[in-house]
Structure formats: structure tokens, C-alpha cells
Amino acid sequence: MTTARIDARFASLKAEGRAGFVAYVMAGDPTRDQALEILRGLPAAGADIIELGFPFSDPMAEGPPIQRAALRGLKAGLTLKGTLDLARAFRDGDADTPLILMGYLNPIESYGHEAFARDAAAAGVDGVIVVDCPPEEADPLTDALDAAEVSLIRLATPTSDDARLELIARRTSGFVYYVSVAGVTGVKEAQSASVAPAVERVRKASGLPVAVGFGVKTPERAAEIARVADAVVAGSVLVDEVAAALEAGTSPVTAVLARVQALGDAVRGARVTETV
């Protein structure tokens, strides 16, 4: 069962007594081949889990960095099918790192729920995050993913009250993604003090590990979150490395992996200094 990969990874993180680092990159950014090279380099650079964005023309919950990354991906010709091919190419060389697809519903609708679930499972995808598919609308997709044994990973937010958390936790598996700010990706930074109790609430409601994302840009910030969450997600800051490298005429692969290394190291070291 493919969801086993996520569970195994969180179990080993727990055994190590540390939080995991989740790296988000965009399929096809800046080209298919370079994106594959980045994907293949991520585990060694320090990514415990990979989120692979599939481009959508209208990413309504993204800030400018991921909007631009999606445009680069689309320009490189990456369709959802192309993203699945990329996932499979990654999986051929890595049997253990959980791989989560993240994006918007319409490309999946267009592909067909069942066909998508089947092909995602076959490509070695462990979970899917669909930004614009709240629990109220998720049953058809969840049915298809369940049948293919792929997790639908849900989002919890600062606006989720207890009743909503209960709804969010239904029919989810793997982990819950806590969006730490009300806003788009890559813009605002959450108040640190508010993250710990929120993570606790989500953990309690779901019984699942909680990954925290949105607004994680620096190693210091990543370490802060790593002290209270089960995993830390960074995305905008990574895709911005691609943009900066393209601008400077340097290697996007090297730039992204170096940034992953710095953030991953911070996450790994975060709890060492902890005395409790």
C-alpha cells in the first residue's frame, strides 16, 4: 500500500526524535529534465518528503513565487500527465521518499478521477493535496484515491474551528498540512506563538502527524517550526531559487539543492538544543 511510505517516514522521524523537512518544487520548473535532476537530488540534500506541484493556469491560493513557477512549468509543457511521468522517473531511483502531488482540481477533473488515481498510484505517488477541494466537495475524488490506495492529504488553517477540524480529519490519511497563515503562499509569516497550539489541536483532531507550511523562508524560521511540528514545509523560497538562478544564468539545480540543504540542516538541528 502506497500510503505506507508516508507512515514509515513519520515513524522513523519519530524514532530519530526530530521533525521532517518537506521540500516543495514545481514540475517542469524550469524544464522537465532540470526538475527531474532537482527531484533526484532532494533526498540527499535533506528533504524527508517531497511535494511536487503540478502546474495550473489559475493558482488562486498562491503568491507570486509559485504563480511564476507554475507559469514556467506550463511553458516547459508540463501537463498533469507529464507530472506523473516525472514522478515515475523519480520513483524508479528512490523507493522510500514519500512523494506528494500538490495542485488544483481542474487538471484532475479533466484527467478523470479514477484514471488519475490509478496512474498516480502506478507512478509511485503516495498522496495528493488539492487546494481547491474542501471536504464538502472531496468525496468523489477520495473514493477514487482510496481505491488506488493514495492518500488525500487535507489542509487545516487558522480559520478552522474544532467542528471543521473534525470534518477535515474524516477520510484523510498520511498527515495533515497546517497552513499557518490566512493568506497565499510565500508572503506572510505566521506568529510563532500561534503555531504550537494550532499544531496540537490538529494533531488531536486527526490523530495524524502535522506538517506546517506557508511563510517558511529562513533556516531560523524552519527551526522554530521544527520544534513544535512533525514536519516543516518550504516551497516559495525554493522555487524563487529557480527564478534567481535563471536570472543570474547559474544552475537552478545547484541553487535549489543548496537552499534545501540549509533548511533541512536547520530542521534536523532544531530539537538538539531543546532541553525538555
Q: How far is the CB of 23 from other proteins (least distance, A)?
A: 21
Closest approach, Cβ 276 to other proteins, in A, equals 31
Closest contact distance (angstroms) between CB of 57 and other proteins is: 4
C-beta of 109 vs 265, nearer to other proteins: 109
C-beta atoms surrounding 153 within 10 Å:
25
Query: Looking at the chain, how many residues does it have?
Result: 276
Query: At closest approach, how far in Å is the CB of 257 from other proteins?
Result: 28
Give the closest residue to 110 by CA, choosing from 57, 170, 185: 57
- Residue 212 touches other proteins, criterion: CB under 8 A: no
Q: Give the helix/strand (H/E) hosting 129.
A: strand 127-130
What single-letter amino acid sits at 180? S
Task: Check binding of 50 to other proteins (CB under 8 A).
Answer: no
Q: Is 223:270 a contact under the CB 8 Å cutoff? A: yes
Which of 22, 26, 144, 168: binder of other proteins (CB under 8 A)? 168
Catalytic, 37? Answer no
Known catalytic membership, residue 62: yes
User: Does 143 participate in binding other proteins (rule CB under 8 A)?
Assistant: no
89-128 residues near other proteins, rule: CB under 8 A = 104-111
Give the chain's radius of gyration (CA, Å). Answer: 17
Q: Which of 22, 169, 179, 202 binds other proteins (CB under 8 A)?
A: 179
First to last CA, the chain: 36
Question: Residue 13: left (phi > 0), alpha (psi -120 to 50), or beta?
Answer: alpha
Give phi and psi for 28, each to the nearest 5.
80, 10
Query: By CB under 8 A, is residue 41 in contact with other proteins?
Result: no
Residues catalogued as catalytic: 51, 62
The site for other proteins (CB under 8 A) is made up of 55-63, 67, 74, 79-81, 104-111, 131-134, 136-137, 154-161, 164, 168, 179, 182-184, 187-188
